[in-house]
Structure 1
């Protein structure tokens, strides 16, 4: 056989090998699909934390499995306004485990809403990360995805983690975080009249709790934590890679809060501020038009998955 025929034969052989490899990979993918999500109770410092775990398929795992904790907003739940469930599926396809929590007083939590505090939320996140490593072997690098108040908690978590000795995180994704400095972080309680926010805060500090127009009572502890926290300063101090998104039709956060948070994140290496795809979305990245609504969700999940996958590898 001459050299020309040898080279042609080798090319055919390698092509056959490649085709066989693809067929084997496809067959394995069918045999090892992404597992079903599991509803769990995570042991926490104040009792059980209602949560849902989504693990990636064994085929997509390479080395240590990264984990992402999904943190909902004020009066929200682990559904994340419809975004967290499909996001968990997307991350699982990328080989990343997720755990989404119901914080105190939210979703299936049996605690009163007055236990919804930044300190308790941070403790729950730490419990989730350590539990995922112990029970599911998801002991790779961790990240947080936080929406609104969950985004404020995510911004503050590295600072709290360093102080409390909690499990560290390597990256943050912030969807419309309520990152106003101090009490300004509660502006969503009454965006039209901040004096009313101050009045509710004063009542909570004086009486231990106060009602809000959102139908829940906040505690004096929560108000004091808000007053004493500066999430954008915490972001700068931590220096972690951050993906920040804001929507164009947000009616619960002020332009000043948005601008200050964008400036803080823009100063961080490896970070991204993304707003253009969400121009037609409200604070929860939703729109009354079904097609627009679906696109908002798809863009939010795509940007988050791409960023987290790069940050945790």
Structure 2
């Protein structure tokens, strides 16, 4: 009898120890921080692409690693006006990797801004996706694009494929040359004049940079909202209440395009107080905008990537 009692006690104790070990292991897994963001140099079609990679802390064995490519806007950088780094951290916490890159002539890029064209940026996104697949084994991929980066993201699936979902922050999606309306929102004829001059001479100086005629030509020949309808991917669209540099027509046409998609989602209300870059002079408002932008984007991407 005493032996049986001791035996039961032993097994009970062993079971408790095993359960405690599992709890500790689970706690350590949950507390494992995501690796720090790492600056990398990605081989591109025209030379090195400067980028930042953020990976999740730990993945279950055999689990596919989803990827999000973060695409900044005209004359921007991979900081994404301060939104990309915290977004990447939030996505890493959900088991999603990110890569954010400096497009030609932007950030740490050593190319001239005249290399900033839709075709070159498309090549760079493809190079970044290939690098992440070969280096980290990433799988299903989404694009997040702001402003001109949103236009690029809208066009990318149609010309290269391999994309699962899109998140578009205030995309410059006006049809054709209307996509450059931000250069002079008050007088589109001035934008047309700039385009004619750039296409004739090779480039023009505006907004403090030299813009190539090739960019104007590629913009003229592209229709991102038609591309969205053709690719018909799950798409999140946001605009702010104070866009300033994008016309009401562009916003209305893009909203209509996304709302026509089977899995299109338009979110406007949380960003009513923001400017085109989802910023505000009021610190509390700026913080609320960033939080809402990240939460909205992360929830959408987790739904379609996980």
Map of 2:210 onto structure 1: 217
Are residues 1:175 and 2:169 paired? Answer: yes
Choose the corresponding residue for 1:193, options 187, 190, 193: 187
Query: Once the two structures are superposed, what CA deviation does each residue of 1:213-270 show, in whole Å capped at 9, x if it has no partner?
Result: x101111111000000000000000010000000001100000000000000001011
Cα 1:25/1:222, change in 2 over 3 Å: same
* Local SS of the residue matching 2:217: helix
Unaligned residue ranges in structure 2 (runs of 5+): 1-14
The aligned residue for residue 260 of structure 2 is 267
SS class of match (1:58)? coil
1:88 corresponds to which residue? 88
Query: In the alignment, is residue 239 of structure 1 matched against residue 240 of structure 2?
Result: no
Of the three residues 284, 294, 297, the one matched with 1:304 is 297
Contact 2:29 2:58 in 1 (8 A): no
- In the alignment, structure 1 segments of 5+ residues that lack a partner are 1-13, 163-167
CA 266–308 in structure 1, closer or farther in 2 if over 3 Å, else same: same
Offset, 1:33: 2.0
Q: Which residue of 2 aligns with 1:251?
A: 244
**Change over 3 Å in CA distance of 1:107–1:16 after alignment to 2:** same
Alpha-carbon offset, residue 61 of structure 1: 7.2
TM-score, structure 2 normalization: 0.92
- Alignment CA distance shift 1:127-1:255 (3 Å): same
CA RMSD of aligned residues (A): 1.8
Q: Deviations over 1:148-169 (max 9, x none)?
A: 000000000011215xxxxx11
Task: Specify the alignment match of 1:161 in structure 2.
Answer: 160
Shift, 1:137, TM fit: 1.9
Offset of residue 57 of structure 1:
1.0
Query: TM (normalized to structure 1)?
Result: 0.90
What is the rounded CA distance, in whole Å, between the counterparts of 2:23 and 2:200 in structure 1?
67
The alignment status of 1:41 with 2:35, answered yes or no, reads no
In structure 2, C-alpha distance between the alignment counterparts of 1:135 and 1:21, rounded to whole Å: 32
Aligned residues between the structures: 293
Counterpart secondary structure, 1:39 = strand
